[in-house]
Amino acid sequence: MKMLLRRLLPLLCPFLLLAQEDKAITAMLLRSAEDWNRGDLPAFASYYEDSAETTFVGRQVVRGGPDAILARYRRDYPTRDAMGALTFSEITVRTVAPDLAIVVGRYTLKRTAAGGGDATGRYSLVVRKGKAGWKIIHDHSSAL
């Protein structure tokens, strides 16, 4: 039995490491939702990679990194009522390289009528692992 485990362990290690990365990416998304729910848009935007190449695609394309994306969020969600409470669900992570993954899922905003009412949609993210951990380099979100 020990001999079998010694032979299988090197084969299983990459899968175990990928599972750890999937958990780290999911944890990053959940932390970003916590920041949103505290009304901390700069902290929420900090999960985007600090690069002019970082993009957000929604009703329009925003390029220019987290500062431009933060400006878009501030414009579209000017009040706490408009921000509501954010949750992510149906999160699926597909690692395509040791430092690159695609994430898809659903977002839901619970808001008052004054805040614009509830909203939900789908998102797909490309995330890259760097010195600062996993960061979003491309975000495509659309309302349902």
Which residues, including other chains, have CB under 8 Å from residue 76's CB and lie 6 or more apart?
82
CA distance 87 to 37: 9
Chain centre to alpha carbon of residue 133 = 12
Q: What's the full length of the chain, in residues?
A: 144
SS3 of the chain: the string is CHHHHHHHHHHHHHHHHHHHHHHHHHHHHHHHHHHHHCCCHHHHHCCECCCCCCEEECCCEEECCHHHHHHHHHHHCCCHHHHCEEEEEEEEEEEEECCEEEEEEEEEEECCCCCCCCEEEEEEEEEEEECCEEEEEEEEEEEC
Write down the pLDDT at residue 6: 60
Write down the pLDDT at residue 129: 98
CA distance 144 to 133: 30
Please state the domain extents for the chain: 2-143
Q: What is the pLDDT along the chain (144 residues), one digit of tens a residue?
A: 666 556 655 654 454 445 689 999 999 999 999 999 999 999 999 999 999 999 999 988 888 899 999 999 999 999 999 999 999 999 999 999 999 999 999 999 999 999 999 999 999 999 999 999 999 999 999 999
Chain centre to alpha carbon of residue 80 = 20
Write out the CATH class of domain 2-143.
Answer: alpha beta
